[in-house]
Amino acid sequence: MSRFVYVTYIRTTPAKLWQALTEPDFVKRYWFDSWQECDWQVGSPWRIVREDGSTADSGEVLEVEPGKRLVLTWRNEFKPELTAEGFGRMTYDIEDQGGMVKLTVTHEIDVENSKLIGAVSGGWPHILASLKSLLETGQSLGEQACPQGG
Amino acid sequence: MSDRPEAIHIIHIAAPIQKVWDALTDSDLSPDYFFGNRFEFGARGGAFRVMQPDGQVNSQGKVLVRDEPRVLRVTWDVVIYEDMRAETPGEVEFRLDDLGGVVRLTVSEFNRPPGAERFTDSAREGWSLILSGLKSILETGKPMPPVQPEPPK
């Protein structure tokens, strides 16, 4: 088993954070031009779509509790050595802390020394920092880092 | 001594690298994101301390590396909890990388003794709160709502 856990605290409400995690137009703003495509029903397929329309990752919805918890199966679809590891699991846990919200992202897979977990360990902190910036300042990190609109 | 960190905490902050460095090293700024505690970093070879609002020393150590505005590394001995005294003479390194408009701040913990695994969760919670708060102050000018982290069990 390989596991990555990241915790961040965001000055927002659980409802706003849930919206930010699940609405494609919002996701696109902090996920560096990728977004999630899904109807967020248990058993539904989901995927991360890149700007060119290709699929970056895909899976199925295992648990949905709006404002509280979302669990997905997750397989990388663009790097063959990561795809070969099969499906892992990604969980968002949301906890209201009065004036701010604690978001815990847990990404795990039943593979020792997983390359997938190695890869997402580098990606999640940047994406979640970008999300926090967008919710707190109105600008994501991508929007701040590329003032020329790149 | 291994140079492979046992734990890594990362936050990306939209601020100039010097401002992130200053927020870390200016003792008057740290209480706003460090549960009221003050970071005190001396020059290289000098002392490092974490002072609590009640005047007690929380942690102490020595400054091993001070390479402004990129690397700050200290030995870190938690002295406030009696049962942790023997457990935590580790090292902590703050590394700042300028990614162009965004700074990646990496906090790495080294040389945790074998018995320190039970602190892993509380350390992660603590660093998450500290780094989230630091980011909010630098990006919005306002601290996060005050929270006291759970002491290690």
Query: What residues of A are in contact with residue B128 (Cβ under 8 Å)?
Result: 6-9
What the block records as the tokens of B66 is 């001070």
Among B127, B128, B134, B140, pick the best mutation site for testing chain A contact (most A Cβ within 10 A).
Answer: B128
Alpha-carbon distance values, A117 to A3, A76, A107, A143, B107 (Å) = 7, 10, 7, 27, 19
Q: What is the ipTM of this complex?
A: 0.90
In this structure, which amino acid lies at residue A54? Answer: S
Which is more confidently placed, B87 or B35?
B35
Confidence of residue B146 (pLDDT cuts 50, 70, 90): confident
Question: Which tens digits make up the pLDDT trace of B124-133?
Answer: 889 999 999 9
**Dist CA B35 CA B128 (whole Å):** 12
CB within 8 Å: A145 and B144: no
Among A99, A141, A146, select the one facing B12 at the smallest CB separation. Answer: A141
Query: Do A100 and B144 make contact, defined as CB atoms within 8 angstroms?
Result: yes
Neighbours of A53 (CB within 10 A): 6
pLDDT beyond 70 at B2? no
Q: Which secondary-structure segment (H or E) carries B72?
A: strand B71-78
Using a CB-CB distance cutoff of 8 angstroms, which residues of chain B are in contact with residue A137?
A: 14, 139-140
pLDDT in tens, A45-103: 999 999 999 999 999 999 999 999 999 999 999 999 999 999 999 999 999 998 999 99
A126 close contact with B: CB closer than 8 A: yes
Percent of chain A at pLDDT > 90 equals 92
Please name the member of A7, A126, A139 whose beta carbon is closest to the beta carbon of B128: A7
- How much is the average pLDDT of B113-118? 66
DSSP string, B29-68: TGGGTTTT-EEEE-STTSEEEEE-TTS-EEEEEEEEEEET
pLDDT score of B153: 56
Q: Does A119 touch chain B (CB under 8 A)?
A: no
Residue A148: pLDDT band by 50, 70, 90 thresholds? very low
On whether any CB of chain A is under 8 Å from the CB of B132, the answer is yes
Q: Which residue has the higher pLDDT, A150 or A25?
A: A25
Residues of A in contact with B101 (CB under 8 A): 144-147
Other CB atoms closer than 10 Å to residue A81's CB: what's the count? 10
